[in-house]
Every structure is written in structure tokens, then in C-alpha cells.
Structure 1
Amino acid sequence: MAHKGYDEGCLAAHALDLIGDRWALLVIRELMLGPKRFGLIKAGLPGIASNILTRRLADLEANGLVERRALTPPVAALAYGLTPAGLDTRPVIDALCRWGLRQPGHDPRKFISPTGLMLSMAVMVRPVAVRAEAAFALGAESFETRLGPDGFSARPGPGDALPLRFAGSGNTLAAAVYGSAPLRAHLAAGRVHLTGDPAAAQRFLDAFSLAPKTAA
């Protein structure tokens, strides 16, 4: 059930009235990089029941954070996307990632959604001098990504023309991005697949680390 609100004038309480229900912020997370159909949102949140997801989407729509959109052909279907106010929660999600990194108990073996991985990479990146591009194919979702002096960005797309293409699940690619084993070990074990130059791919992944960042 949705909470009834905090009945306070505090701005933090007001924000929690809008996004503080269980799953609400994770639903927003799944839409942060672009609109999705109901089933794809559900795939990124395997622990949520369909009726709860329906309710959260309705609540977020009522609060002006989510809107329904018609996808253009060849996929003529209803999707959900974030409004400008919904997109403005990105710094909140980024801050939660940074804060969670410093807290004990994180278990990277638990499910990691494709979008969750892309958002974490944008937070855990070490900007590099040379620009690079790579595609990430994670089951039903694919992303075109760019790395450079301004950090890391991702958007939905097949990335067929990009020089590097990583393929795997959210968890196997997270292990390749953040783990201590080199990329060649993941490739040899068949956990990750790569199209492109392995040395360039390793350099791309070396820009990311779960080591806590020190504030400038």
C-alpha cells in the first residue's frame, strides 16, 4: 500500500511523499535512460509483483514524474517515460549510489539490471583523456556508450557501428567492469562476449572502479 504522506512542510518530506514509496525510485531508475514497455520495466525489477508495478506507475504518473508514450513503428505499443521532473531525480539516484558504496553489506552477486549497471558506471567512472565508444548488449536491452574527459554516458541503441561491443548479463558484465579479473578471463570462461580489439576493450573497462572516490 502507498504511504499516506508525512503531513510536514519539510521539503525532504515533500520529496518522499512523491518518490518514497517502496519500489518507486527503482521504477524511476529503470526509466532514466529512456522509455520502456511494462514488461521491460518488470524485467529490470524481478522482485516486484505486477500489480505493485502497475500501482507505482500510476502513482508516479499522478505525481507528474512518469507519462505514457506511444512508441513509434515498427514497435507500435504503449510505453512509460519520465517527465522532466522525473529526469531531475538523476542526482538523487547518483548520490544514493555513492552513499551505498561506502556502506558495508553490498552483495554484487544479487541481480543487477542493465540500466542499473549503466547508471552505476556513470557514477564510478574515472574520466579519461582519449574518447572511446562501446556498445553493451544485455539481453533485451542494448546501449550505446561514450567515455571521455567529460565522463561516461549511455543511451538505448544497438551500437552496431561502434568499435567495441560487450555482450552478457547485467551481473556478468558488472563483474567484468568492476571485478579484479582481467577481461580475458571473462572471455575465456564464456561469461562475456566481445566484438572488437581486446586491448582497447580492457582500456575501456579500466576507467571504472568501485573504489570510493575522494571529493575534489
Structure 2
Amino acid sequence: MPSIDGVGSARTYGDACAAAHALDLVGERWALLVVRELLLGPKRFSDLRSGLPNAGPNRLSQRLRELEQTGIVRRRKLGPPARSWVYELTDWGRELQPVLVHLGRWGRQSPFRDLDAGISVDALMLALQGDFSAETGGGLSATYVLVFGDDRVTVRVAGGVIGITRGEPSAPDATVTTDPRTFAAVLTRRRSLEEAVHAGDITVSGDLNTVQRLLDSFPRPETAETPPA
């Protein structure tokens, strides 16, 4: 295995703790968010830039090189007709998904999070994966397509389990067309589904009640106490 110095970073905790070593590998700024953006499948560099607009191209390229050199990400060329280069997670890299899910659950309790900040489609899907509650879902069994511009994501709920994949099934129970910011606002109860539909910010094809049942399957966590001034 290459040393930390050998993958482009001279910073290391120098600690034999496995958690410290993991942070040596993915603790640099943007590294875990690159992993987040690849959880649902391969992406071109331009797609990663769209999902991480605040990461400069040079910084993003550096993180991708480091993640490649540590065996977390790999780069490959798609076959025809695309023939474009994409980045994807290795099997080891995909094992970071539950880490990100639990980190997100912890972060959602923060009293300091800016809920009006930008958010990517992949970040939203990670939130769905982490926050879904079979108990509040009430036996929900349905298939949804979430449409964000050119990006289509399928969400399937059955048997108390949620599954999320890119692509579109042949016969969904409902199709929701919106933008990430609006969907995030509805998901976090800052806007109601009814109000967003009435305002034209969300379009629902299919059963509106089934969409509301999906949203109700994500209870909001209690916010941690703000430290005294």
C-alpha cells in the first residue's frame, strides 16, 4: 500500500488507530463528498463538477487522483456509443456508504446546518437512504421516479426497505418532477407538498397521496442543543 506521502499529501495523523488512518485516506476536504457523488454509479468529471460546484476543478482533480491512488476510486472508459471517461467507486470504496449514511444522520441533528444552502441530487438520495423509517412508512409499497432536470432516480419501497437506483422503471406509481432545493425543502418540512405543487415548483404524475406517504416515511430528528452563549 502506498504511503500517505506517496498519494500526494504530506499530512498524516501518524497514529496507528484505524479511524485515524481512515481519515488520512478520506479526511481531506471534498474527498468524502466525491465518494458521495459516486454512490449511485459512475460519473464523468463534468458531472462531478455539477454535483460539487464549490470545489474548484484543480482541487477536484487532486482529490480524484488521491482517491485513485489509494484504491477507493477508479477511472475507466465507457464503451460505444458514449466512449467517455468516467470515475467510479471500487468495491472497497463502496463500503464507505454506511459511513456516509451514519455521518449524515449525525449531522442532521446539528443546530448550525444551513438548510438553504445548495444540495446535489446524490446528497438528497443519501438522505433518503439514511432517514427512511419502515415504522413511519406504515407498510408502504410503491415505486417512484424523481426527475431533476436530466437526472432520473428510481426509489422503490417494499417490505420496510428502500432502494435507490439511477434510471427509470416502466410503470412507476408516481413521478415527481422538481429541483433539488425544492425537494429538500419539502423533505425537511419547510414546505408542504401541497403548497409546492400549487406553486408549480413540483409536478406529480400519478398518486399524490402515495408521494405524501413517501415523504412521511422520513421523520425529522431532534436538533441537538445549542451551546450556551
TM-score by length of 2: 0.87
What's 1:175 paired with? 185
CA distance 1:150–1:212, change in 2 (3 Å): farther
- Provide Cα deviations, 1:64-102, integer angstroms capped at 9, x if missing partner: 000112234432211100001110011110111111122
Structure 2 residue aligned with 1:30:
37
**Greater displacement, 142-151 / 104-113:** 142-151
Q: In structure 2, how many angstroms separate the alpha carbons of the residues matched to 1:75 and 1:168?
A: 27
Question: Which residue in the other structure is 1:87 paired with?
Answer: 94
Letter in 2 for 1:109: D
Q: Point out the more displaced range, 147-156 or 130-139.
A: 147-156
Q: Does 1:106 align with 2:77?
A: no
Cα 1:110–1:6, aligned 2, differ >3 Å: closer, same or farther? same
- The aligned counterpart of 2:126 is 119
For 1:165 and 1:15, locate their aligned partners in 2 and report how far apart those are by CA, in whole Å: 39
Following TM superposition, by how much is the alpha carbon of 1:211 offset from its aligned partner in structure 2, in angstroms?
A: 2.4
1:1-216 correspondence runs (5 A): 2-127=9-134, 128=137, 129-159=139-169, 161-212=171-222
Per the alignment, in what secondary structure is the counterpart of residue 105 of structure 1? coil
Contact 2:140–2:160 (Cα < 8 Å) also in 1: no
What per-residue deviation string (whole Å, max 9, x for no partner) do you get for residues 34-66 of structure 1?
111111111111110001111101100000000
Q: CA offsets, 1:5-42, max 9 Å, x none?
A: 22221111110111011100000000011111111111
2:144 partner letter: A
Q: Greater CA deviation, 35-44 or 190-199? A: 190-199
Give 1 or 2 for the bigger CA radius of gyration.
2
Rate the CA distance shift 1:75–1:99 in 2: closer, same or farther, 3 A.
same
Query: Residues 125 and 27 of structure 1: is their aligned pair in 2 closer, same or farther, counting only changes over 3 Å?
Result: same
Give RMSD over aligned pairs: 1.8
Q: CA deviation at 1:144?
A: 0.8
Farther-moved stretch of structure 1 (143-152 vs 1-10):
1-10
CA distance in 2, matches of 1:140, 1:55: 28
Q: Distance in 1 between matches of 2:216 and 2:121?
A: 19
Partners of 1:114 and 1:60 in 2: how far apart?
Answer: 22
The answer to whether the Cα contact below 8 Å between 1:135 and 1:160 also exists between their aligned partners in 2 is no
Distance 1:3 1:172, change over 3 A: farther
Alpha-carbon distance, 1:160 to partner: 5.1
- Give the Cα–Cα distance (whole angstroms) in 1 for the partners of residues 186 and 156 of structure 2: 17
TM-score by length of 1: 0.92
